[in-house]
């Protein structure tokens, strides 16, 4: 199938891009196109206007903020560049640990980390990473710039709180605190496939948080502080509702939650203790 006809715009500045989006709700931002173009081709999305942000200078940055600051990833930073960044690896190792599971190299060369986050797919890795770390997204729209905390970003399946006329300009991943540890793991049928279930852990002293992908409509973070190691899986399941689909039954997903929760919490503790 081919996409329905659309008007294509490629503005050179952020201000022009915001103006181009102001035409109404049937406008769409095009970043890496790795999710949007398949949706267009299948006619699951048929925007009237496509606003390609790839010609806007200065959106491909990856920067560490301040001395104890986290890392800010610009809207045109490709997954591959973020994965290869020594700064990102040093400041927040959970980002590359999870990015290594995102699709295949060719898709990571084009797809953007910010696009993946605002696409808000509950089966994607980077929304969960942002959620478990308590990160945020900066967006620019007709009324200026605002910061959206990860906790307020994910509303439903493929639905974020970004307005139709806003452009996400960056995502901010807080730094890993000294003495803290992180881990990521997932089970997929084949390498590069979307995960049947995935889990990202952040252990900081007594605080234990685990975020889950492909278990529910939005990335879900569960606080497992104070839970004994043997009870982690069941404690997590008390907050989750794994679902059935053509890829896995709810029971199988629940079993993956049990296995992965123990695994990522143990690995995150090992990282914390090794520092």
Q: Cβ neighbours of residue 244 under 8 Å, at least 6 residues apart?
A: 250
| Least Å from the CB of residue 55 to ligand FAD | 13
**Nearest Cα to Cα of residue 183 among 245, 81, 272:** 272
The answer to whether 154 contacts ligand FAD (rule: CB under 6 A) is no
Q: Which has the closest alpha carbon to 123: 94, 154, 92? A: 154
- How far apart are the C-alpha atoms of 137 and 173, rounded to whole Å? 9
Site for ligand FAD contains 203 (CB under 6 A): no
Choose between 77 and 237: whose C-beta lies nearer to ligand FAD.
Answer: 77
Q: Tell me the three-class secondary structure of 115-168, residue by residue.
A: HHHHHCCCCCHHHHHHHHHCCEEEEEECCEEEEEEHHHCEEECCEECCCCCCEE
Distance CA 202, CA 183 (A): 7
Give the binding-site size for ligand FAD (rule: CB under 6 A).
28
Pick the piece of the chain touching ligand FAD (CB under 6 A) from 12-20, 88-96, 105-113, 218-226: 105-113
Select 117 or 265, whichever has its Cβ closest to ligand FAD.
117
Residue 72 engages ligand FAD in binding (rule: CB under 6 A)? no
What character string, x for contact with ligand FAD (CB under 6 A) and - otherwise, covers 156-175? ------x----xx-------
Position among 70, 74, 115, 262 found at the interface with ligand FAD (CB under 6 A): 115
Q: From the CB of residue 10, how many other CB atoms can be counted at a distance below 10 Å?
A: 15
- Nearer Cβ to ligand FAD (51/224): 51
**Under 8 Å between Cβ of 168 and 127:** no
Q: Is 185 in the site for ligand FAD (CB under 6 A)?
A: no
Taking the complex as a whole, the smallest distance from the CB of residue 263 to ligand FAD amounts, in Å, to 19
> In whole angstroms, what is the distance from residue 6 CA to residue 228 CA?
55
Strands 197-204 and 181-187 turn out to be: antiparallel
Which token pair is 261? 């929760």
Would you say 85 or 272 has its CB closer to ligand FAD?
Answer: 85
36 binds ligand FAD (CB under 6 A): yes
Q: Which of residues 18, 31, 77, 148 is near ligand FAD by CB under 6 A?
A: 31
Among 18, 29, 71, 133, binds ligand FAD (CB under 6 A): 29
Only one residue has tokens 């199938």, namely 1
Contact residues for ligand FAD (CB under 6 A)? 28-36, 38, 75, 102-103, 107, 111-112, 114-116, 118-119, 124-126, 162, 167-168, 194
């Amino acid at each position: 199938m081919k996409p329905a006809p659309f008007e294509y715009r490629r503005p050179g500045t952020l201000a022009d891009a915001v103006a181009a989006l102001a035409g109404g709700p049937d406008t769409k931002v095009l970043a890496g196109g790795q999710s949007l173009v398949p949706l267009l081709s299948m006619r699951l999305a048929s925007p009237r206007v496509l606003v390609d942000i790839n010609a806007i200078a200065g959106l491909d940055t990856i920067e560490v903020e301040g001395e104890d600051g986290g890392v800010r990833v610009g809207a045109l930073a490709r997954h591959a560049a973020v994965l290869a960044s020594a700064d990102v690896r040093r400041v927040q190792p959970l980002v590359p640990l999870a990015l290594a599971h995102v699709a295949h190299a060719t898709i990571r060369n084009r797809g953007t980390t910010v696009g993946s986050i605002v696409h808000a797919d509950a089966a994607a890795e980077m929304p969960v990473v942002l959620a478990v770390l308590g990160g945020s997204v900066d967006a620019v729209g007709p009324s200026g710039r605002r910061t959206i905390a990860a906790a307020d970003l994910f509303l439903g399946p493929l639905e974020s709180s970004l307005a139709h006329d806003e452009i996400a300009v960056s995502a901010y991943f807080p730094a890993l605190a000294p003495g803290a540890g992180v881990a990521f793991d997932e089970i997929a049928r084949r390498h590069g496939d979307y995960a049947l279930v995935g889990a990202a852990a952040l252990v900081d002293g007594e605080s234990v948080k685990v975020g889950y992908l492909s278990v529910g409509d939005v990335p879900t973070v569960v606080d497992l502080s104070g839970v004994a190691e043997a009870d982690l899986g069941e404690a997590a399941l008390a907050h989750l509702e794994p679902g059935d689909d053509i890829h896995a039954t709810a029971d199988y997903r629940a079993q993956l939650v049990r296995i992965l929760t123990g695994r990522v919490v143990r690995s995150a503790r090992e990282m914390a203790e090794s520092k």
